[in-house]
Structure 1
Amino acid sequence: MTARLPSLNGLRAFEAAARHLSFTQAAAELNVTQTAISHQIKRLEEELGVRLFVRQNRALTLTPEAKDYLPGIRAAFNDMRLATDRLQRKDDGHVLTVSTLASLAAKWLLPRLTAFQEAHPGIDVRITTSSGLVDFQRDNVDAAIRYGRGQWQGVRADWLMADELFPVCSPALLQAGKPLKCPEDLRDHVLLHTSNIYSDDWRLWLTAAGLPTDLSKQPGVTFDLIFVTIQAAIDGIGVAMGRTSYVQDDISKGRLVVPFKIALPTDAGFYLVSPQGRADSPKLSAFRQWLIASAQGKS
């Protein structure tokens, strides 16, 4: 039996309010009243049977359930926008569609994208998320940011950045009573894991640290998206295996700390991948130049 979908208006209100962390700003974006947003969110929470927001001291925060729910809803709305654009056959000379991993979009690309939009206001960037390889022609995608060794046939692959592996945790975790001064102390902490392509990260790092790899098999928590794993670390649930591109902003802002100085370089990294025939288009060339500079910390 197929589950009944919740109200589309409620989902739109949720996505906008979660993005702004403000009912007022969500209402302004959707051209409705703040009361309407509040009612739509309340109705959506009742339909789902899940609380989505915590309202306190004029601040709005997402519940853990909402943090898990948001990436899928955001991706669905983005897919609908892209599908509508294709249906209406709009002139896409100034529209740049980029596919990337949801985690990289959330933790690295989106916080930097405003700088590109300010530098190139005539280019309309559309971000779509996917974990698999894209068919540039079928999916109407101009470029993709992908993780690997850059050995893909028939495309141009421009190097962006490498990742280092190292444990990260909330500063509060270091003050919670259980020590975390040396890698052996990990035995007394919850380890946070990410499945799929990141499932081996803990074992690789433990090998580099000279620790028994079976430590990674102790009871922990596993997530299917690395940015959810990182958020769990920020929330103090346990210790996560971080990758430079996903945690550098959280470290610089004090939301995460690096308890040990052992980092494991990887032999792969992120590339901007584009079809050979369109790789030198003006909009893609501008984005490539900005993206490479941003990855190198020059923008």
Structure 2
Amino acid sequence: MSQAEKAIYCDIPISLGYDMNHYSLNGLRMFNAAARHLSFSASAAELNVSQAAVSQQIRRLEHQLNVKLFVRESGRVTLTAAGKELADATDAALFRINKAFSKITQTDVSGNLTISTLSSFATKWLIPRVAQFESAHPSISLSIHTSEYKVDFSTSGIDGAIRLGAKEDAELCTEPLFRDTMCLVALPERARSIGTDIENLYNHPLLVDGTPNLSEQMIDLTSLATNKAIDALELDRSKLMIEKHSSSATVVLSALANKGVALTRFSLCMDDVKAGKLDIILNFTLSADMEYSMVYPRENSQCEKLKAFRVWLRRELAMSPSIWNMFP
């Protein structure tokens, strides 16, 4: 047993009389799914049970532990500190159980795994983190496929996809990941020259994405969000030096090359902002109607290598910098 695993089990206060006979393993499994999805409905879909069953099991577990595991508000749930601690423990425990099952049945978590995503998200967020996944799961060979279009899972050989603005499909599981935010960023020296005067934006090229981001009906979500942001800033379009780019990734790369001010999605520049390479200008942020989701065929819901990727993805997202932490 590793030191990390020992720590998890050493933290259980056996002397206080905690007895697993009093707790439902199925309830812990439902809690773990809800903690990964941060959604009772998505976890119910994964486990092929009703949402009411998930809610009931979690309420029972909270009652037994006499602690709140989730904060429920505005149609969404978030983990409490106690919930996060239990989620980490159940992740480790269930992973060990699944590994044992895999060893017994000779179906280890290994093999090729192909994930499709937008080229911008792949370039600026996913690919820089792939080495961490490979280190955690050396027996899984991960391939990244980039596309803006809806995946045909029946013919493409793709196991799962990360999409922006994914539509519900009866044959697919759609797990919400996070909602993106529009922001203005530039090199620190350019940001300082703009300062707090919005009129100074007219003196700098405004870098935007000028191509469709996701297209089932060729809806350009980023362009819609860009126009909404310009309206929110109350900018005069006739005065702006708008420079359109072929992808959202090149918008950020151009800002890093000091070509202008990028009006872009925070997911694509968060690492550069955290590293101090780019600064957010005018403290401007705008929540956009752009939600990333993990999409995969329902028959893949119990695929162990895909499940390992989904768990890892949620952990990485949870550790990613929040735009709300960028301001004092």
Q: TM-score range by the shorter chain?
A: 0.5 to 0.7
Query: Are residues 1:284 and 2:306 paired?
Result: yes
Matching residue of 1:105:
122
Matching residue of 1:187:
202
| Distance 1:179-1:284 versus aligned 2 partners, 3 A rule | closer
How far, CA to CA, are the matches of 2:225 and 2:181 in structure 1? 10
The answer as to whether partners of 1:157 and 1:271 remain within 8 angstroms in 2 is yes
C-alpha distance after superposition, 1:137-187 (max 9, x if no partner):
211100000001552342001111111111111113235xx5342322211
The answer as to whether partners of 1:169 and 1:259 remain within 8 angstroms in 2 is yes
Quick one: which of 237, 243, 248 aligns to 1:226? 248
For the residue of structure 1 that corresponds to 2:138, the secondary structure is coil
Amino acid corresponding to residue 296 of structure 1 in structure 2: A
The answer as to whether partners of 2:208 and 2:264 remain within 8 angstroms in 1 is no
How far, CA to CA, are the matches of 1:253 and 1:132 in structure 2? 32
For the residue of structure 1 that corresponds to 2:283, the secondary structure is coil
| Distance 1:130-1:116 versus aligned 2 partners, 3 A rule | same
For the residue of structure 2 that corresponds to 1:118, the secondary structure is helix
The answer as to whether partners of 1:98 and 1:144 remain within 8 angstroms in 2 is yes
For the residue of structure 1 that corresponds to 2:135, the secondary structure is helix
Q: Normalising by the residue count of structure 2, what TM-score does the alignment of the two structures yield? A: 0.58
Structure 1 segments of 4 or more deviating over 4 A? none
Q: Normalising by the residue count of structure 1, what TM-score does the alignment of the two structures yield? A: 0.64
How far, CA to CA, are the matches of 1:192 and 1:180 in structure 2? 18
Quick one: which of 192, 209, 214 aligns to 2:237? 214
Q: What is the root-mean-square deviation of aligned Cα atoms in Å?
A: 2.1
For the residue of structure 1 that corresponds to 2:279, the secondary structure is coil
How far, CA to CA, are the matches of 2:248 and 2:309 in structure 1? 25
Matching residue of 2:284:
262
Structure 1 residue ranges without an equivalent (≥5)? 1-91
C-alpha distance after superposition, 1:47-70 (max 9, x if no partner):
xxxxxxxxxxxxxxxxxxxxxxxx
Amino acid corresponding to residue 181 of structure 1 in structure 2: T
Matching residue of 2:137:
120
Amino acid corresponding to residue 219 of structure 1 in structure 2: M
Matching residue of 1:201:
225
For the residue of structure 1 that corresponds to 2:280, the secondary structure is coil
CA shift for structure 1 position 255: 1.4
For the residue of structure 2 that corresponds to 1:113, the secondary structure is helix
CA shift for structure 1 position 93: 6.0
How far, CA to CA, are the matches of 1:268 and 1:278 in structure 2? 25
Max Rg structure: 2
For the residue of structure 2 that corresponds to 1:134, the secondary structure is coil
C-alpha distance after superposition, 1:254-281 (max 9, x if no partner):
1111011121112331111000111220
Matching residue of 2:111:
94
For the residue of structure 2 that corresponds to 1:164, the secondary structure is strand
C-alpha distance after superposition, 1:72-128 (max 9, x if no partner):
xxxxxxxxxxxxxxxxxxxx9611000111110010001111111111111110111
C-alpha distance after superposition, 1:184-217 (max 9, x if no partner):
22111111111122223332112223x14525x7
How far, CA to CA, are the matches of 1:182 and 1:150 in structure 2? 40
For the residue of structure 2 that corresponds to 1:201, the secondary structure is helix
